[in-house]
Structure 1
Amino acid sequence: MDVDTRLLRYFAAIAEEGNLTRAAHRLFVSQPSLTKQLKHLESQLGVRLFTRSSTGMTLTEAGHTLAARVPPVLADWDTAVRDTRSAARVLRVGFLAGAANEATPDIVAAFARRRPDWQVDLRQASWTDPTAGLASAEVPVAVLRLPFPGQDAFGVRSLFTEPRCAALSSAHPLAHRDEIVDCVPVTGISPSEVGVAWLPDAGEAAAEFVRCCLDVTQSRRTGCGTR
């Protein structure tokens, strides 16, 4: 029987959290979707893995058995994937649209100069995954918006803060101002800080990419070139 590792990750998160809502938040998926995937896994295995109650999710005897075996299986799989990708010398970098757009070509070029035997595979994540693939270990390093949920689990460095502007009608009472500071409440605006984040065991190539991010953004601020 073949089981999607994604289903095992979902199961592990529910088992650890003991609650569907918290597990869904941790996995960046909706609760109905997570419930559907859990039912799919139970159907594949032919067993019930949890008992559901108003207090949360409790592992059945079969669930306890699976919960004891899933973490090492996923750890071995992640190691195999990471080692395979390293052997291919391809660094997968996640990013969110709008994060370091102007600096990204310079960062990739700097990495290519320092690691000419490596390739960079840029992978754009949807806004539903603010970690840009880090949480699921799809990428070892990512350029994204700060802060993001679960940030403390990763290495994180701020690269720069983008300026914000307000677009107003010429007839607006504030249109004549050069700056608008604490005049009106503003909600729903994404953070303007851009950073780079990486997995704890990301590897030397990812560490080199992080250094390129820091060097390039610093050089852009000072007007100096990069090596």
Structure 2
Amino acid sequence: MTQLHRGLPALLLLAVVALAPAVRAETPKAAERCESEVSDTIRRMRGKEVQDVQYIAGRRVLTPATDDETSVRGEGRYRIGGTTVPFTYSCAYNAKSDSASGALFRDLVTARAPAEKAFEPDLTNLSPEACESAAAGSLKSRHPRVGRIVFGSDSRRIQPGSNGAVLLVGQGAVQRAAGMNAVPFTYRCEMNPRSGRVLEVSTSD
């Protein structure tokens, strides 16, 4: 009986050691898939000028969400127009499909090209809510069973448009149907700066 008890800790240790590689193996894959998806999202949002997207391994946090899904959060930086822009990000990794979804990022400083610094529009009559309402309507018309729509207020940017108009652009996340994973989307509104009216809206998800 004594010999059996002495053998139990060794057996438990072997079981833990045998399982450990499988647990560790998913960690780099979740980070790799999510950070690749975040990089693609940054380039879609910020354009071809984005260079050297890097991630800080020591700031990465992986949290199990369900049996198959892992939430990945962290920090990184990229260069645009000679400026280094730090950012935070979040993403969901599905081990069953080996894919990432719901990639969102937030710049910790304003990412602007040098040419945009002189642009100072009159914001008195511009309403981000009017633009976001129009963008939500566009998403609902494309996805009739749409679930939740979330707009990232920190992602809003104002740019000069054509013929005196102003462009309001941003990003968010949408459930194309109730119960589905949220996916990122971008939106763009052309607005009349004097009346605040939305002249045109487009979304991409």
TM over 0.5: no
Structure with the larger strand share: 2
Structure with the larger helix share: 1
TM-score by length of 1: 0.26
TM-score by length of 2: 0.28
Which structure carries more relative contact order (alpha carbon 8 Å, separation 6+)? 1
